[in-house]
Amino acid sequence: MEEIRTIPAGFARQEILVVNSRFIASAGPVFSVEEAREFIQNIRSEFADATHNVPAFLVGHGASVTAHCTDDGEPSGTAGRPALTVLQGSGLGDVAVVVTRYFGGTKLGTGGLVRAYTSAVQEVLKVLPLAQKRATHTAMLVLPYPYYERIKLLVPECQGEICDEEFGADVTLTLRFPVEYFDGFQEELQEMTRGSLQAVIIETDENTIFPIRSMK
C-alpha cells in the first residue's frame, strides 16, 4: 500500500485573544526550505508592527523532514517549540505556520505563552484546507452516450475524478484515479458494459495532489 502524504491545499488564518494579547496564526503549504523562509518573511512583512512573529515549519514528510522553529523574542521554549510540536502531531508535511502576537499589556507567564501558541496553531489547523499527495493513473475512456450518466456516477464511487469531457460522435472522458482504485473501476466498468468498454492509462504520476476536506 502506498504512503499517502497529507499536506496543506492552501492558506488559512485564525485569530485568538488571550488576556488582551492577539495571536494570529497563518498557515500554508511549503515544499522547500526556501519556500518556508519566503512564507515566514511575507507574514513578518505583513505584520511588521507586531510584537512577535513566531515561525515553525516542516518540509518533507514521514522520515524525511526538515523541521525548524524560533521563539522570535519570546522566552526560550514558550513559542516556537509549542507551535512546532502541534505541527509534528498533526500528521501534516510541507507546512509552515507563523503565529503573530500583538502584546495586550498583561504578561502571560511561561505556561500561559505555551498554551496560547499551542492553541493558536491548533485553531488554524482546524480550518486549513488539506490535500493528499498520492500516486495516480490518468486514463482515457471513449463511450457511447447511453452510458454517460451511469459512468459519470461510477467514477467518484471508485474514488476517481473526471478531468475533462469531450462530446462528439461519442463521449471522451479523461479520468484520474489513485493507483490502488483503478483496477476496481475497470472491473465495475466491464461489468456495467458487459465487457465492451475499457479505460486506457495514458499517464502515471507519483505525486498527484488530491484536495480533501478541511481538518476538523
Whether 140 and 110 share a structural domain: no
Q: Is 46 helix (H, G, I), strand (E, B) or coil?
A: helix
Whether 192 and 104 share a structural domain: no
Q: Which helix (H) or strand (E) holds 176?
A: strand 171-178
DSSP classification of residue 1: -
Whether 16 and 100 share a structural domain: yes
Which of 107, 128, 149 delimits the end of a domain? Answer: 128
Whether 116 and 23 share a structural domain: yes
In tens, the pLDDT along 49-107 reads: 999 999 999 998 767 899 999 999 999 999 999 999 999 999 999 999 999 999 999 99
Whether 28 and 115 share a structural domain: yes
Position 123 scores a pLDDT of 98
Whether 98 and 189 share a structural domain: no
Q: Could you list the residue range(s) of the whole structural domain that residue 54 is in?
A: 5-128
Position 216 scores a pLDDT of 44
Position 203 scores a pLDDT of 95
Three-state SS for 96-120 is EEEEEEECCCCCCHHHHHHHHHHHH
In tens, the pLDDT along 102-146 reads: 999 999 999 999 999 999 999 999 999 998 888 899 999 999 999
156: left (phi over 0), alpha (psi -120 to 50) or beta: alpha
Question: Which CATH number do you get for residue 156?
Answer: 3.30.70.240
Cell of 1: 500500500
**pLDDT reading at 6 higher than 70:** yes
Whether 104 and 154 share a structural domain: no
